[in-house]
Chains A and B, each alone.
Chain A
Amino acid sequence: MPPPRTREKALRHRLAELRGPEVEAKALDARALAALAANPGCRRRAILDGAGVDKAVLADALGSPSVFGQSQFAFVRGNAFEAKVKADGGTELLRLAHEKLDRGAEPPAGARVPDLTAQGPRGRTARTELALREAAEAPGAWTLLDHPMLALDVAGSPAFLEPDAVVVHPDGSWTVVEIKSFPMLDGAADPAKVGAAARQSAVYVLALEQVAARLDSAPRVRHRILLVCPKDFSNLPTASAVDVRRQRAVTARQLERLTRIEEIADALPEGTCFSPKLPAERLTEAVESVPATYAPECLSACELAFHCRDRARAQDVVTRLGRPVRAELGGLTTIGEVLAAARGEAGDPDDPAVAALRRAAALRAEALGTAAPEVAPCR
Chain B
Amino acid sequence: MSLIATLARLEAVSTGRAQPAATVRHRHLSERPLVLVPLITAGEAGAPLGALVGTDRDAPRLLVVPQPRDRDLRFAFLAELADVVLPYVDGFADVVEAAERSETDPETGKRVKVEVELCADAPQLIVPSRAGVDLVRLLGRSMRFRRTAEQDPEAPFPAPPRVPLLGRWLTHFGERARVPGSSLLLAMTDVLARHWATGQSTLEDQHLGALLAWIDPPEGRSGAKAAQEAELARDADGQLVCPPAGPATDPAFDNKLLAPAIERYDRARGALAAAEDGLEADERLGALTAAEREIRALVESRTRPTWDAVWRGLDLLRKLPEGARVEERWTRDRWSFTGHRDRVLAGEPPQPRRDDAVTAANKLAVREREQARLEAQEALDDPLVMAARRLSGEAFAGEVVDVVMAYSESRRPSPRPLVTVRTDDRPHLGERVRAYRSLGGKPQTAEFVGYEEGPEDGLLVLRVMDRMGRGKEPEEGSVPEKGDRVCFTLFEHEPRGGAKLPDPEETPWTHGGPPGEEAVPEPADPVTEEDVL
Contacts and interface: CB of A to CB of B under 8 A. Distances in A.
- Whether A and B touch directly in their complex, counting CB atoms under 8 A apart, is answered as yes
Contact size range, A: 35 or more
Contacts of A78: 43
A376 B380 CA distance: 12
B45 A233 contact: yes
A69 B255 contact: yes
A321 B201 contact: yes
A67 B251 CA distance: 9
A363 B224 CA distance: 26
B20 interface: yes
Given A71-B43, A375-B485, A357 B7 contact: yes
A364 B144 CA distance: 48
Interface stretch (B51-59, B332-340, B403-411, B524-532): B524-532
Nearest to A313: B224
A377 interface: yes
B232 interface: yes
A181 B45 CA distance: 9
A60 to B, nearest CB: 12
Interface residues of B, number: 69
* Residue of A300, A318, A321 contacting most chain B CB atoms (<10 Å): A321
Contacts of A321: 6, 9-10, 13, 199-201
B387 A364 contact: yes
A322 B201 contact: yes
Contacts of A232: 45, 525
Contacts of B382: 367, 377
Contacts, number: 165
Nearest to A79: B43
B384 A368 contact: yes
A320 B485 CA distance: 40
B127 interface: no
A351 to B, nearest CB: 14
Nearest to B390: A363
B465 interface: no
A356 interface: yes
> Most A CB atoms within 10 A — which of B10, B258, B437?
B10
Contact of A376 (B9, B353, B485, B528): B485
A109 interface: no
A344 B487 CA distance: 27
A306 interface: yes
Nearest to A375: B397
B483 to A, nearest CB: 12
Interface string B6-50: 111111011000001001000000000000000001111110000
Interface of B: 1-4, 6-11, 13-14, 20, 23, 41-46, 138, 141-142, 199-204, 224, 232, 249-252, 254-255, 258-259, 324, 353-354, 379-384, 386-388, 390-391, 395, 397-399, 424, 437-438, 485, 487, 489, 525, 528, 530-533
26 contacts: A71-B43, A71-B249, A73-B258, A75-B43, A77-B44, A181-B43, A182-B45, A185-B45, A186-B141, A186-B354, A232-B525, A233-B142, A321-B199, A322-B202, A325-B1, A328-B3, A335-B10, A335-B13, A339-B7, A342-B7, A360-B3, A363-B4, A364-B384, A367-B23, A367-B384, A378-B383
